[in-house]
Amino acid sequence: MALVKVFVEKSNDGTYWGTTQNLPGVVSAYGNTLEELKKNIKVAVDDYVETAVELEEDWIDEVVPINGYEFKMNIESFFYLVPQVKITAIARRAKINPSLMRQYATGRATVSEERLKLIQGTIHELGKELQSVTF
């Protein structure tokens, strides 16, 4: 298997949840940070594969060796939870096509981890600018 694909969501309480997309069955984990989730999902997948080897599951040869992980993020929930943030404005600041950003925000396109970090950084920069405003 080239990569284990993991779909990541962030819940209302800030917890990150990850679910595998291309393993037989489903493996999921959570973490308080994205890094914690990554660590936890890798442990969960390792345990899942170890159990499958012990049980001599017929699909195990298709999965082993695992050559890495690909994390896909969901920013749809962010734009849903904070509708005051204008998708087009964030896209322009991040130098992303606004149409593509709307697809990310509505779930019609999946954002890569690298692109998500760019969007997150842009939103954080905007937040810092807003915090510096005094009246």
Strands 28-31 and 111-112: unpaired
The pLDDT score that the predictor gives to residue 34 is 83
- Domain of 7 in residue numbering reads as 1-73
Q: Please tell me the distance from the alpha carbon of residue 96 to that of residue 8, in angstroms, as a whole number.
A: 21
Given a cut of 90, is residue 6 above it in pLDDT? yes
29 domain residue, yes or no: yes
Question: What average pLDDT does the chain have?
Answer: 90
Domain total of the chain: 2
**How many helices and strands in the chain, by DSSP H and E?**
6, 5
Q: Are residues 4 and 64 in the same domain?
A: yes
120 domain residue, yes or no: yes
Q: Are residues 64 and 97 in the same domain?
A: no
Q: Are residues 55 and 92 in the same domain?
A: no
57 domain residue, yes or no: yes
The pLDDT score that the predictor gives to residue 81 is 64
Q: Are residues 56 and 87 in the same domain?
A: no
78 domain residue, yes or no: no
Q: Which has the higher per-residue pLDDT, 14 or 126? A: 126
Q: Which has the higher per-residue pLDDT, 69 or 81? A: 69
Locate tokens 């695992």: which residue?
66
Q: Are residues 2 and 23 in the same domain?
A: yes
How confident is the model over 6-35, as a mean pLDDT? 90
Q: Are residues 42 and 93 in the same domain?
A: no
Q: Are residues 89 and 29 in the same domain?
A: no
- Quick: pLDDT tens for 29-50: 999 988 899 999 999 999 999 9
Q: Are residues 87 and 117 in the same domain?
A: yes
Q: Are residues 18 and 62 in the same domain?
A: yes
Q: What does the buried/exposed string (b/e) look like for 56-65 if buried means 16 or more CB atoms within 10 Å of the residue's CB?
A: ebeeeeebee
The pLDDT score that the predictor gives to residue 69 is 94
Q: Are residues 89 and 48 in the same domain?
A: no
Q: Are residues 64 and 91 in the same domain?
A: no
Q: Are residues 57 and 28 in the same domain?
A: yes
Q: What is the pTM of this model?
A: 0.66
